[in-house]
A = this chain, B = another copy of it.
């Protein structure tokens, strides 16, 4: 049971955790902070938080658990701002999408209290944002990854793990480097690829005419290019090393396919495509999918 939860950033991610813990009776009091007074007020009115703090200092000072749920680009500044006001009992966790960068920032800011920091990443979200988008069921049956370092206090990890389990999440523990590679491969790189395709087509004079013929396959493939640009800028910069590494590999792979098409090396193409097909089919069995369709 959390006595006083401080939520920094009371949007979809922070707000939903607060609502879920309240709903399940796992928190006595929630104090929230948002940069904008209007947002704080909204969160208060929606019952997401019990008290709105006028500053990060006010929010965290008497909290036993702090959840930092701000965009990746604001993470380092928030951690630096809260550091002087937390004590050796305060557990601090976050919701950032790239863990190594947040860990570095936390280490730099928290100093001797760094073992109290439990890096986390709830893999959940919707297309909406802000306090009004928050709902208590967001994390049910969703994955939350925690990436403790060798210095992380074991009891702090355990409490954060329990908190997420109490709101219905499946909690996985892995190291931050692995997390960043896994997310770069399965989420960050695919977003870059989709943005790059649609952005490239958007720059064509005949963009409208081209997209008129785009059908189901394209719609599914490009769906993630409808994601928020600022959020994805921050994630790309936040998970810089892993994303760059995979991008380079990806470009090299494309160059090989390009060379095979140029030289008419059909064997290379069919072998490579088939490896991909087998890997995907073994991971996602989706009977009845119109996968061979060219559309």
Contacts and interface: CB of A to CB of B under 8 A. Distances in A.
Interface stretch (A53-61, A159-167, A252-260): A252-260
What range describes how many residues of A lie at the interface?
A: 35 or more
Contacts of A172: 213
Contact of A279 (B202, B236, B246, B289): B202
A252 B61 CA distance: 50
A196 interface: yes
Contacts of A275: 199, 202-203
A124 interface: yes
A295 B223 CA distance: 12
A201 interface: yes
Interface string A2-27: 00000000000000000000000000
A217 B243 CA distance: 17
A219 B272 contact: no
A294 B202 contact: no
Interface in A199-241: 199-204, 206-207, 209-211, 213-215, 217-237, 240
A215 B189 CA distance: 14
Could you tell me the dominant secondary structure of chain A's interface residues? helix
Interface string A257-295: 110011010100111111111111101101011111111
Contacts of A182: 209-210, 213
B202 A278 contact: yes
Given A202-B275, A217-B223, A295 B257 contact: no
Interface stretch (A75-83, A99-107, A111-119, A125-133): A125-133
B270 A243 contact: no
Given A124-B295, A197-B189, A203-B275, A224 B217 contact: yes
B240 A270 contact: no
A157 to B, nearest CB: 19
B126 A215 contact: no
A183 interface: yes
B291 A224 contact: yes
19 contacts: A123-B215, A125-B290, A127-B293, A172-B213, A186-B215, A187-B294, A199-B272, A203-B275, A219-B284, A221-B224, A223-B286, A225-B280, A228-B277, A230-B270, A233-B273, A235-B294, A236-B257, A237-B269, A251-B251
